[in-house]
Amino acid sequence: MNFEFALVALSTIGTAIWTVLTWTEQEEKERRIEQDQLDALCINPFMLATQELNFVLYRILVQDQLGVFRREISHEGEPEGEITYHEALAIVYVIMKYFGWVFVFYHYGSYVQDRKAIELTRNIAETFADRETFGSDVFLFTLTQQRSLGYAIVKKFPSHDPTYPEFTELSVYEFEEIMSGYKPEDFFYQDVMKVVDGIRKANSIKDLSGWERLIVVQNQLVDLLSYIESEEGYSFTTKKRQKTLLLNDAIIDQENGLTADLHSPAVSFLPNFLPLPNLGGLNFWGETGGDNKNNPEIVHHIGGRIRVKVPMVFNNSNYAQNIQSLIENITGVESVRINQPASSVTVYYNERIAEKEFAKLLLERIQIAV
């Protein structure tokens, strides 16, 4: 009798444990579904806005998008045109859209208590608001301005289910229409037009007030995207994101070898420092000047193949390795051969790339190797 009682008791206990485990598993499953739905409403749009801002800043900093705008507007035989109001406003719109979604990111989704994500987004916000380091350039936005500008683009929808808040963002055309309704004395109008006017005045990146700030923000955006995508397990791009490479007194990008001196307090805030090499007469925008026995010299060049004499390669393995790494990162490069005893670097590249442009880029890349 006692044996039968024990069996019934064990069966009852087992059933209770199974019920609890099943209920717990079901609860966890429902929680994950809710979290995935919330992420789809909040995290994905935030990642897209962050990706778009990174893309726009990289094109401005590295690919001279402001100059492209001017050349596209000009007609053959005429001077380069002005950047249009619409094009400048579209850049401001992308910044404001990021501000809007980052505040959604702070309040909803799976990262509201993620210290790393909060730190990365806070760094970007503080860079935009940093007056002491970067001064009062056109891309200075206080934290209050960031919030106000962001809320103008990303708005919360009335929702019947508080568990799943819904948000909507204005299109750039809707934003442009709203701007037309403001008066010049309105603070919101002034905040936006300060940036629009600064962009329209710039002929290229080196004329843009606040380009140092944008360099730092672009690097921080890449860090943020890398972290969130590693956590989510997917990416919005199939390509490796390029940071603007930064040296103590120069910025160098991985796409086209552009260099620019940084004589600014902002230098102390720039990530990924490297010692500044001897640029061998390389000036502010990568143009060479003056004689230097260590300067690289093109020995032979035909479409798709170029050989350069590089005196500093001789008996300097570290320098040779750095040159090889930098050259291999140039778009279109197929292979690199370095002959140290002969102080020679031979590069094979895609024949569709213009010879003159590739030669200039290659020489710049060699001279920044450390």
- Are residue 96 and residue 216 in the same domain, yes or no? yes
Does 232 share its domain with 305? no
Q: What is the mean pLDDT of residues 235-249?
A: 64
Residues 215 and 311 in one domain: no
Residues 237 and 353 in one domain: no
Residue 71 lies in a domain: yes
Q: Are residues 224 and 359 in the same domain?
A: no
Tell me which of 225 and 255 has the higher pLDDT: 225
Q: Looking at residue 325, what is its pLDDT?
A: 79
pLDDT of residue 239: 72
Structural domain count of the chain: 2
The answer to whether 116 touches 173, Cβ cutoff 8 Å, is no
d(CA 87, CA 67): 12
- CB 272, CB 243: distance < 8 Å: yes
Q: pLDDT by residue (tens digit) across 48-103? A: 899 999 988 988 887 667 766 665 554 444 445 678 888 899 999 999 999 999 98
Q: Write the pLDDT tens digit of every residue in 244-283.
A: 754 434 444 444 444 444 444 343 334 333 333 333 333 3
Within a domain: residue 70? yes
Q: Three-state SS for 308?
A: strand
pLDDT over threshold 80, residue 226? yes
- Quick one: CA torsion of 251, 253, 257, 262, rounded to 10 degrees? -10
- Residue 255 domain flag: no
Helix (H) or strand (E) holding 307: strand 305-309
- The reply to whether 330 falls in a domain is yes
**Sheet containing strand 250-253, strands side by side:** 244-247, 250-253, 259-261
Task: Please give the pLDDT value at position 121.
Answer: 92
Structural domain containing residue 76: 24-242
What pLDDT is recorded for position 139?
94
Q: 158 and 302 share a domain?
A: no
Contact 91, 56 (CB under 8 A): yes
- Maximum alpha-carbon separation in the chain: 107
The structure's pTM equals: 0.61
Tell me whether residue 283 is in a domain. Answer: no
Per-residue pLDDT at 279: 31
Same domain? For 52 and 185 the reply is yes
**Of the residues 225, 242, 259, the one at which a domain ends:** 242
**Residue 264 in domain:** no
Structural domain includes residue 286: no
Claim to verify: residue 30 and residue 175 sit in the same structural domain = yes
- Which residue, 195, 222, 242, sits at the end of a domain? 242
Query: For position 356, what pLDDT does the model report?
Result: 82
Domain final residue, candidates 209, 227, 242: 242
Confidence of residue 4 (pLDDT cuts 50, 70, 90): low
What's the CATH code of the domain at 358? 3.30.70.100
Model confidence band, residue 204 (pLDDT cutoffs 50, 70, 90): confident
User: Do 66 and 197 sit in the same domain of this protein?
Assistant: yes
Band of residue 5 on the pLDDT scale cut at 50, 70, 90: low
Residue 3 lies in a domain: no
Share of the chain above pLDDT 70, in %: 68
For the residues of 19-32, what is the DSSP string, one character each?
Answer: HHHHHHHHHHHHHH
Q: State pLDDT tens for residues 321-342.
A: 878 878 887 878 889 998 888 8
